Amino acid sequence: MFRSLLRLQTQFGNTLLFSKVCQRSQHCGSSQKYSTAAAERKRFYQGVSISQGEGGLYEINLDRRKLKTPGGKLFTVPNEALAIAVATEWDAQRDTLKFYTMHLTTLCNTALDNPTERTKDQMISAALKFLETDTVCYRVEDPHGLVELQNNEWDPVLHWIENRYNVTIGSSCSIMGPEIPEATKDTFRQHLKSYNFWSLTGLEYVITQLKSVVLSMGMIDRHLSVEQAVLLSRLEEEYQIRRWGNVEWAHDYDMYELRARTAAGALFVHLSSESSTVKRKLLQD
């Protein structure tokens, strides 16, 4: 059953259809803590558009008003593709603005205002902390069915990332988890330094959702789909649900909401790394 579920291949865009599912009360990471002050607000604009401002940055316009961050800065993004994605979030809101569903906007606000005043090195160190407690590295000793499930589903991803980055990570049943070699941390640290500040903001957000560097990198590198990464991060919970049952509707609600946040974070990483602009075809008579 799990293997068939893990073979689902859905692009980020399809998963974002779930972005209107309400956010859980459990929040992780500075980007989730830093959001618009009000959870909801009556929609105050008719149209949404984008424009290119100084320095080639793109702005979001709500009617004739330029969008600003909670810190009072002009809301600007580095490329047109990300601007279109954010504008779509605002345009998709109906009579009431539900800010807790606007994950891309929140991530942009976090990158622009940087409320915790962190540097890239500090963000990288925070991300690598999750490697020491990575979901796929902690294994159980019983029951047998869960042990087998973890080995069958997590080991291939773990082997993939070790081969991909030429590192050693391993797994352990100890409460202390596996001992991650310093060489492995250094390899990932060097790799993460290639990300810009905005991409690191999105990557850290994804890692906090999945509680896993391994699954996050697997998804960002397109080795895993959003659905696969989310399901693998909830493997033990899914096992218990299939064994003991679950509260009707609550399981799907939680799953879709986690997919929405994870997909938004992954999309943000890719779009904030994008340097090209959207090309338009000229209409000919």
Return the H-helix or E-strand segment holding 59: strand 58-62
- Cα angle: 51, vertex 52, 53; to 5 degrees: 115
The reported pTM is: 0.81
In a domain, 43, yes or no: no
Q: Is the pLDDT of residue 29 over 60?
A: no
Share of the chain above pLDDT 70, in %: 80
Average pLDDT for 147-156 = 95
Average pLDDT for 24-36 = 40
164 lies in the same domain as 258:
yes
The least confident of 29-38, 123-132, 149-158 is 29-38
168 lies in the same domain as 250:
yes
Beta strands (DSSP E) in 43-114 are 48-52, 58-62, 65-66, 76-77, 96-98
Q: Is the pLDDT of residue 249 over 80?
A: no
Q: What is the pLDDT of residue 175?
A: 80
Residue that terminates a domain, selected from 64, 98, 132: 98
58 lies in the same domain as 169:
no
Q: Is the pLDDT of residue 154 over 50?
A: yes
pLDDT tens across 44-83, in order? 999 999 999 888 999 999 999 999 999 999 999 999 999 9
243 lies in the same domain as 158:
yes
In a domain, 53, yes or no: yes
Q: What is the pLDDT of residue 278?
A: 52
Phi then psi for 252, rounded to 5 degrees? -65, -40
Mean pLDDT of the chain: 84
As for how many domains the chain has, the answer is 2
What CATH number has the domain bearing residue 85? 3.30.2180.10
pLDDT tens across 260-272, in order? 999 999 999 999 9
129 lies in the same domain as 181:
yes
128 lies in the same domain as 238:
yes
In a domain, 8, yes or no: no
Q: What is the pLDDT of residue 240?
A: 83
90 lies in the same domain as 175:
no
What CATH number has the domain bearing residue 143? 1.10.3580.10
In a domain, 104, yes or no: no
CB-count exposure of residue 70 (10 Å: 0-12, 13-18, 19+): middle
Helix (H, G, I), strand (E, B) or coil at 95: coil
Q: What is the pLDDT of residue 39?
A: 72
166 lies in the same domain as 242:
yes
The least confident of 48-52, 216-220, 238-242 is 238-242
Q: What is the CA radius of gyration of the chain?
A: 20
68 lies in the same domain as 136:
no
CA distance linking residue 165 with residue 168, whole number of Å: 9
Q: Is the pLDDT of residue 284 over 60?
A: no
Q: What is the pLDDT of residue 185?
A: 96
166 lies in the same domain as 255:
yes
76-77 and 58-62 strand pairing: antiparallel
Q: What is the pLDDT of residue 260?
A: 95
Question: In terms of residue numbers, what domain contains 248?
Answer: 120-273
152 lies in the same domain as 255:
yes
Q: What is the pLDDT of residue 23?
A: 33
Q: What is the pLDDT of residue 35?
A: 46
Q: What is the pLDDT of residue 30?
A: 42
In a domain, 86, yes or no: yes
Average pLDDT for 155-172 = 96
The pair of three-digit structure tokens given for residue 85, joined into one six-digit string: 């994605």
130 lies in the same domain as 170:
yes
